[in-house]
A and B are shown apart, each in its own frame.
Chain A
């Protein structure tokens, strides 16, 4: 006959394994406990739920965004203010909110291809133009590298569908904040 303690332990073990399974699943499916968002090309930019479903991606009490565009977001999230969205969302979302849809970059949505730096520059201006915009960033202009233009390829730092990174920090103490 099993004692209460034993059954307790068995239940605990069962729960433990179940949880481990869930964790392993979550880890293998994208690293976060949130389900991977759908990449729905037809979704309206402000309609979080269209891709994220029931996942909580906005803070409690946030105004409904479904009908908003980038302009509307700026009503609260002004550039330079503590509420600025800069670095807080994947860049693809900024593009979407400004009306740059999936299709604008990926011509074939069924088999989306990686973008070249040239494609980015087609909208953002030449290497020189981009560099001029950040000419005063200290301690070094991130868009004008002494290592040449291969070191200013956009996606070394700026990712659309993942967190952006400070590529220079591999070798330098530059504390760039990368949108």
Chain B
């Protein structure tokens, strides 16, 4: 069966390309990618849906939900054995500018300020209209997850690097799974369960320029390229491409940034690879800023992947403690600078940095993160030291400059201003002086791919030939580029994915069916 299908498509390919080539010779017409791609149109579709969503993370599931709710027939395709992609392993923090929690805590914020922060971190490479939409929809999006999806959040706000104020909601379990499981649940209620182990091979774009369906491999076993069986699925209205980023695709990421070799670890799920993105380019999507790839500065060499250290390094140390270079005993960066600045700084000073806090900072972490702190200690990622001297000795850090660093910081706390590095000081920041001390080693890891395909505010994929929408193709989430520019701010990806996923789903249903 498999062989037969292959044979048929190869024969079709020869027939059509042969014909087109002859056409060129006779009429002298320009060769357009669309015509070459007609080769892939199947004689027979195995299945038909109004909307075919590829990818089952925040973006894909949001698109599927909107499309299904609007009455369309929808299928969600996922190549891995589990749904959720990077979304279901994510850290569960989401920004909302102008939220009820900010009002309660007396934090002055606005969508405009969030946009300003996004543009500053993004080095103004952001596609402004896209970024603005995400920032202005931020509170609506978070409230939608609460009111429509039933997502539960903790009661307090936190702050990642690059944000002017604490504005992040955290899911109750500190994981994106709190959102994804609700998305899956809601979809199940309306009769939609994502199909796992289905790999997108080809986006099928016809000579009229429209994307009309997909070629997939069913029962695919990641990462075996040719596993599974070929199938053709027709999308009467549209395909929504929501296949996420390529942080774990070493060949593709080193093409974009040759420094990001296999030596670097990634926080991403194993399936965060770029084959669907390559396919989008092949059929005429426009690449945007692919070489902007973010390293998470708060990774740890003492655990795999994202692990749990980011919670400690960020909440207990960047917000309430310090990051120091153990070779000098000194601070080397504003601990609340954006991720790129911090990751670059760690590498620049020689990759021997630690994050640490005192008993007070640790207690705040325990209150906010619960058993995550216990796990970090159990796994030896975070270590406890009875005195500053013991901590310094453990990391071979000179004690005198370390004491001076802390004394300077404590002066800044007393003065209410961090003159040295300009860090935002928390309202309840206390002097760092109470043993025991807690510390972890820092190691930047490949975390987010800012670039991707070019879209407009309607989530339509734009054609590389003329910047016009490619009929029948929507893209949303990390597979797109532009929202975050050079650097994505923590907690803004969830917003991006949900906002554009929903737009893509709603618009996909409104397309006129082609057959």
* Chain A residues near B (Cβ < 8 Å): 138-140, 145-151, 153, 156, 167, 170-173
B270 touches A147 (CB 8 A): no
Q: Which residues of B contact A173 (CB under 8 A)?
A: 303-304, 379
Q: Is B10 an interface residue (CB 8 A)?
A: no
Q: Which residues of B contact A140 (CB under 8 A)?
A: 375
- How far is B88's CA from A151's CA once the two chains are assembled, in angstroms? 9
A149 touches B181 (CB 8 A): yes
Give residues 357-382 of B contacting A (CB, 8 Å): 375, 378-379
B296-323 vs A, CB cutoff 8 Å, 1 = contact: the mask equals 0000000111110000000000000000
- How far is B308's CA from A171's CA once the two chains are assembled, in angstroms? 12
Give residues 178-200 of B contacting A (CB, 8 Å): 180-181, 184
- How far is B269's CA from A154's CA once the two chains are assembled, in angstroms? 20
Quick one: given A171-B269, A171-B270, are A148 and B304 in contact (CB under 8 Å)? no
Identify A150's interface contact among B88, B175, B270, B379, CB under 8 A. B88
Q: Which residues of A contact B379 (CB under 8 A)?
A: 139, 173
- How far is B306's CA from A46's CA once the two chains are assembled, in angstroms? 46
- How far is B306's CA from A149's CA once the two chains are assembled, in angstroms? 20
- How far is B177's CA from A138's CA once the two chains are assembled, in angstroms? 22
Q: How many residues of B contact A (CB 8 A)?
A: 23
Q: Which residues of A contact B305 (CB under 8 A)?
A: 171-172
Could you list 14 examples of A-B contacts with CB < 8 Å? A146-B173, A146-B174, A146-B177, A147-B82, A147-B88, A153-B81, A153-B82, A156-B82, A170-B269, A171-B89, A171-B269, A171-B305, A172-B304, A172-B307
* Chain B residues near A (Cβ < 8 Å): 81-84, 88-89, 173-175, 177, 180-181, 184, 269-270, 303-307, 375, 378-379
Top 9 closest A-B pairs, CB basis?
Answer: A148-B181, A148-B177, A171-B305, A147-B177, A146-B175, A147-B88, A150-B82, A173-B304, A170-B270
Q: Which residues of A contact B375 (CB under 8 A)?
A: 139-140
Q: Which residues of A contact B306 (CB under 8 A)?
A: 171
A147 touches B84 (CB 8 A): yes
B88 touches A148 (CB 8 A): yes
- How far is B83's CA from A64's CA once the two chains are assembled, in angstroms? 46
B88 touches A138 (CB 8 A): no
- How far is B181's CA from A166's CA once the two chains are assembled, in angstroms? 22
- How far is B306's CA from A140's CA once the two chains are assembled, in angstroms? 16
Which chain B residue shows the least CB distance to A169? B304
- How far is B297's CA from A58's CA once the two chains are assembled, in angstroms? 52
Which chain A residue shows the least CB distance to B372? A146
Question: In the complex, how many angstroms separate the beta carbon of B43 from the nearest chain A beta carbon?
Answer: 28
Give the residue among A138, A145, A151, A153 with the most B Cβ atoms within 10 A.
A151
- How far is B270's CA from A148's CA once the two chains are assembled, in angstroms? 18
Question: In the complex, how many angstroms separate the beta carbon of B368 from the nearest chain A beta carbon?
Answer: 16
Q: Which residues of B contact A167 (CB under 8 A)?
A: 81
- How far is B184's CA from A115's CA once the two chains are assembled, in angstroms? 20
Q: Which residues of A contact B89 (CB under 8 A)?
A: 147, 171
Which chain B residue shows the least CB distance to A145? B177
Q: Which residues of A contact B180 (CB under 8 A)?
A: 148
Which chain A residue shows the least CB distance to B182? A148
Identify A139's interface contact among B84, B88, B174, B378, CB under 8 A. B378
Which chain B residue shows the least CB distance to A140? B375
- How far is B88's CA from A175's CA once the two chains are assembled, in angstroms? 22
Q: Which residues of A contact B184 (CB under 8 A)?
A: 148, 150
Q: Which residues of B contact A156 (CB under 8 A)?
A: 81-82
- How far is B304's CA from A172's CA once the two chains are assembled, in angstroms? 5
Q: Which residues of B contact A170 (CB under 8 A)?
A: 269-270
A147 touches B175 (CB 8 A): yes
Which chain A residue shows the least CB distance to B194? A150
A138 touches B82 (CB 8 A): no
- How far is B202's CA from A46's CA once the two chains are assembled, in angstroms? 48
- How far is B420's CA from A89's CA once the two chains are assembled, in angstroms? 63
Give the residue among A146, A151, A172 with the most B Cβ atoms within 10 A.
A146
Quick one: given A138-B378, A170-B270, A171-B269, are A150 and B304 in contact (CB under 8 Å)? no
Q: Which residues of B contact A138 (CB under 8 A)?
A: 378
Which chain B residue shows the least CB distance to A168? B304
